[in-house]
């Protein structure tokens, strides 16, 4: 909340549907757009295009706007990032975006600079990281640790303990907040490079996944999935 207050003090807000009673979209220097587009909703797309037309820069804020987000888990909906419909000038990932990254990005944008995102994975800054992928010999059988088993008890990596963690294919920058709360990384910061689903598929091919997890489709589409031509069914 403190970071949000600082950002609001630094910017002159000219349009914000949730806090301003305003219908038309005025011109702006920077437009932050959050949320994904479901099934190519025409009203949402036209609204975004009107924002894009009057903004010098458009920034996708949050995992949904950047990658499609958690709605990608729906078997009946196609959740698209806003970049599928309009040109974006950058994105701030996270569900929600980490306060430090949000504040730093806002300052950089005000100074006319590009948003600075790391190209390293979360494991590179995780205190529990394993040294190599060869260390993951135990079958990956669980999506989360037992409630009675605190993280860090043995100082070991989730993956070494047979718990799925998306750290190897997820961008660092969240300060490992989930891991510090005994929750393995789910990937909301997106991939350090390349396309989200391709990274996940390649990652899973190197892991000794249990038979149950191999059949658990939700892992592939937790925060994004490829556009499905002709509909959203899979």
CB atoms within 10 A of CB 131: 8
Q: Is 31 helix (H, G, I), strand (E, B) or coil?
A: strand
Contact 211, 141 (CB under 8 A): no
Contact 175, 98 (CB under 8 A): yes
**d(Cα 77, Cα 230) in Å, to the nearest integer?**
12
49-76: pLDDT as tens digits: 999 999 999 999 999 999 999 999 888 8
Q: Kindly report the pTM of this predicted structure.
A: 0.85
User: 């011109």: which residue's tokens?
Assistant: 27
Whether residue 96 is preceded by a cis peptide bond, meaning omega within 30 degrees of 0, is yes
Least confident of 54-63, 102-111, 210-219: 210-219
Mean pLDDT, the chain, as a whole number?
84
110-144: pLDDT as tens digits: 899 999 999 999 999 888 876 665 666 788 988 88
**d(Cα 173, Cα 98) in Å, to the nearest integer?**
8
Report the percent of the chain where pLDDT is more than 70. 87
DSSP 140: B
Place 234 in a pLDDT band, splitting at 50, 70 and 90.
very low
- The per-residue pLDDT for 94 is 95
- The per-residue pLDDT for 119 is 92
DSSP 163: B
Is it the case that residue 29 has pLDDT exceeding 90? Answer: yes
Domains of the chain: 2-110 (3.40.50.700), 118-234 (no CATH)
- The per-residue pLDDT for 233 is 40
Token duo for residue 159: 């993956």
Edge-to-edge strand list for the sheet holding 28-33: 28-33, 55-61, 90-92
152-161 as b/e, with b when 16 or more CB fall inside 10 Å?
eeeeebbbbb
């Amino acid at each position: 909340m403190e970071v949000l207050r600082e950002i609001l003090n630094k910017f002159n807000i000219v349009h914000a549907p949730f806090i301003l009673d305003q219908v038309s979209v005025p011109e702006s220097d920077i437009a932050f757009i959050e949320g994904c587009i479901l099934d190519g909703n025409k009203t949402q797309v036209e609204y975004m295009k009107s924002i894009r037309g009057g903004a010098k820069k458009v920034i996708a804020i949050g995992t949904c706007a950047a990658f499609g987000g958690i709605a990608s888990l729906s078997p009946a909906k196609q959740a698209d990032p806003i970049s599928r419909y309009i040109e974006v000038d950058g994105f701030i990932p996270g569900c929600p975006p980490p306060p430090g990254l949000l504040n730093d990005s806002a300052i950089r944008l005000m100074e006319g600079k590009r948003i600075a995102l790391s190209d390293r994975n979360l494991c590179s800054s995780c205190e529990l990281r394993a040294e190599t992928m060869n260390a993951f010999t135990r079958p990956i059988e669980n999506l989360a640790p037992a409630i009675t088993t605190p993280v860090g008890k043995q100082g070991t990596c989730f993956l070494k303990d047979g718990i799925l963690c998306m750290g190897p294919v997820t961008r660092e920058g969240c300060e490992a907040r989930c891991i510090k709360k005994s929750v393995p990384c789910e990937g909301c910061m997106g991939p350090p490079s390349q396309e989200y689903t391709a990274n996940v598929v390649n990652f899973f091919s190197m892991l000794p996944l249990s038979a149950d997890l191999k059949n658990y489709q939700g892992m592939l589409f937790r925060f994004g999935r490829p556009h499905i031509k002709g509909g959203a069914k899979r």
